[in-house]
């Protein structure tokens, strides 16, 4: 892989990470606003946590996709899995 290709991959990864940080910041700010609104309007009836939980699942999935997922299900995973299946197939037919 040449330097230009490495640069493009790194740039894409940085953009994905930045996108996650923006998503997380909006999540924190919006849920802080919802908490304050809930506290001021109906402190005896808590509802803000439904958004916190639902959106939190989305943020967690986004984080997993950015920081963990590419190693598990990215292009490298596909290539490793293809080789693994081909090896099993070869062993079954040869052995």
pLDDT in tens, 46-88: 999 999 999 999 999 999 988 887 666 666 777 778 888 888 8
- Closest by alpha carbon to 22, among 53, 66, 54? 66
pLDDT at 5: 84
Mean pLDDT (the chain) is 89
Calculate the CA dihedral of residues 29, 33, 57, 15 and round it to 10 degrees. -20
Residue 24 has pLDDT above 70, yes or no: yes
Q: Which residues of 41-59 are buried (b: 16+ CB within 10 A; e: fewer)?
A: eeeeeeebeeebeebeeeb
DSSP state of 45: S
pTM over 0.85? The answer is no
CB-CB neighbours of 30 under 10 Å: 13
Query: Domain residues of the chain, as ranges?
Result: 3-70
The C-alpha atoms of residue 33 and residue 31 are separated, in whole angstroms, by: 5
pLDDT at 75: 64
pLDDT at 72: 62
């Amino acid at each position: 892989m040449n330097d230009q290709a490495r640069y493009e991959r790194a740039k894409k990864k940085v953009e994905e990470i930045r996108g996650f940080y923006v998503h997380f910041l909006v999540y924190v700010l919006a849920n802080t606003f919802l908490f304050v609104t809930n506290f001021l309007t109906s402190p005896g009836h808590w509802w803000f946590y439904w958004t916190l939980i639902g959106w939190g699942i989305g943020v967690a999935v986004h984080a997993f996709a950015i920081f963990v997922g590419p190693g598990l299900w990215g292009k490298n995973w596909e290539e490793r899995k293809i080789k693994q299946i081909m090896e099993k197939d070869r062993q079954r037919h040869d052995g």
